[in-house]
Amino acid sequence: MLPQFGTAVRKTKSLKVEPNGSAPEKASVDAAWLVLEAANDLGDQTAIAACRRVIDAELNGTVASPADTDLVLGYFR
């Protein structure tokens, strides 16, 4: 069975900002789920791959590459 992507996951996610104004590492994973849904709708294979790497890094307890994180966090700008 494939993992749930998109709406089912998005309903439980929220983006929060730390008091010092920086985004916590978890925010990039939350954003990755939102971007993944949009990128799937648009057929943006580059963004889909970056989102999956950010999500995989969080699940594996590692740090996602800065390039992938920047793509995810800047996707809707």
> Does residue 58 belong to any structural domain of this protein?
yes
Q: Does a structural domain hold residue 46?
A: yes
16 domain-assigned: no
Per-residue pLDDT tens digits for 35-72: 999 999 999 999 999 999 999 999 999 999 999 999 99
Q: Does residue 8 sit within a domain?
A: no
Chain-centroid distance of CA 47 in Å reads 10
Number of H helices, E strands in the chain: 4, 0
| Predicted local distance difference test score (pLDDT) of residue 27 | 80
The number of distinct structural domains making up the chain is 1
CA angle 3, 28, 41 (to 5 degrees): 50
pLDDT, residue 25, reads 65
Q: Is the pLDDT of residue 10 over 80?
A: no
Q: Which domain holds residue 35?
A: 23-73
Is residue 33 assigned to a domain?
A: yes
| pTM (two decimals) | 0.67
